[in-house]
């Protein structure tokens, strides 16, 4: 299709390349892209224009439904309560305002707000536990009682320091 457009409408092909660069740079939404279509006096048919812009032809005729004024007042009330008490969740907001909890949840999701609460695993240490070297590497246990192990925590609590294989007080 690009080759056909390049042959039939070279200016349109150049416009397509320029618009793709613009779309990549500015992250245009489909609604903003539709505003670039000339619906009245155009040399190109609408189908080719939409194909050049990379959107479906149905998006030309879509008109978003306006938000109900009652829903806007509910959203404003949710926002006011959330601003005063950001730790309130949807259940508490729904109870305080007297609305359905599912509706409040949906509106909070649309508004992009969420209760402030402790998320999981926040108490975990940022640093991993150190990996201690294996001191018996290369040592062969040749006879009984050759290798011993003990708990040195009580010695550490008594401020006894172990240095170069010897206990130092």
If asked whether residues 39 and 89 sit together in one domain, one would say no
**Interval 52-105: pLDDT, tens:** 777 888 888 888 889 999 999 999 999 999 999 999 999 999 999 999 999 999
Q: Which residue has the higher pLDDT, 22 or 132?
A: 132
Write out the two tokens for 137. 């590497």
Task: Give the C-alpha separation, 134 to 132, whole Å.
Answer: 7
If asked whether residues 43 and 12 sit together in one domain, one would say yes
The residues, any chain, with a CB within 8 Å of residue 42's CB and separated by 6 or more, are 49
Name the burial class of residue 104, with classes exposed (0-12), middle (13-18) and buried (19+) by CB atoms within 10 angstroms of its CB: buried
Task: Give the C-alpha separation, 78 to 107, whole Å.
Answer: 8
**Which of 10, 35, 9 is closest to 22 using CA atoms?**
35
**Is 161 within the bounds of a domain?**
no
Q: What is the pLDDT of residue 126?
A: 77
If asked whether residues 9 and 30 sit together in one domain, one would say yes
If asked whether residues 74 and 102 sit together in one domain, one would say yes
**Is 139 within the bounds of a domain?**
no
If asked whether residues 44 and 89 sit together in one domain, one would say no
**Is 130 within the bounds of a domain?**
no
**Is 80 within the bounds of a domain?**
yes
Write out the two tokens for 142. 């040749």
**Which of 54, 55, 51 is closest to 5 using CA atoms?**
51
If asked whether residues 12 and 56 sit together in one domain, one would say yes
Predicted TM-score (pTM) of the model is 0.48
If asked whether residues 81 and 103 sit together in one domain, one would say yes
5 neighbors 12 (Cβ within 8 angstroms): yes
Q: Domains in the chain: how many in total? A: 2
| DSSP character at residue 28 | -
Which structural domain range is residue 102 located in?
69-111
Q: Look over the chain and give the mean of its residue pLDDT values, rounded to a whole number.
A: 80
**Is 140 within the bounds of a domain?**
no
Q: What is the pLDDT of residue 51?
A: 78
Confidence of residue 23 (pLDDT cuts 50, 70, 90): low
If asked whether residues 91 and 51 sit together in one domain, one would say no
**Is 74 within the bounds of a domain?**
yes
**Is 34 within the bounds of a domain?**
yes
**Is 73 within the bounds of a domain?**
yes
């Amino acid at each position: 299709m690009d080759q056909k457009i390049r042959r039939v409408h070279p200016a349109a092909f150049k416009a397509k390349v320029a618009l793709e660069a613009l779309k990549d740079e500015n992250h245009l939404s489909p609604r903003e892209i539709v505003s670039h279509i000339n619906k009245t006096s155009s040399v190109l048919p609408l189908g080719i224009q939409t194909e050049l812009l990379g959107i479906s032809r149905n998006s030309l005729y879509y008109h978003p439904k306006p938000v109900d004024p009652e829903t806007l007042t509910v959203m404003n009330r949710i926002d006011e309560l959330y601003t005063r008490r950001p730790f309130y969740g949807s259940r508490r907001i729904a109870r305080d305002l007297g609305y359905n909890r599912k509706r409040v949840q949906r509106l909070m999701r649309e508004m992009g707000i969420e209760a402030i609460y402790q998320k999981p695993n926040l108490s975990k240490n940022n640093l991993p536990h150190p990996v201690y070297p294996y001191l018996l590497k290369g040592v062969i246990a040749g006879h009984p009682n050759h290798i011993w192990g003990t708990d040195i925590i009580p010695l550490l609590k008594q401020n006894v320091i172990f240095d170069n294989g010897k206990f130092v007080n």
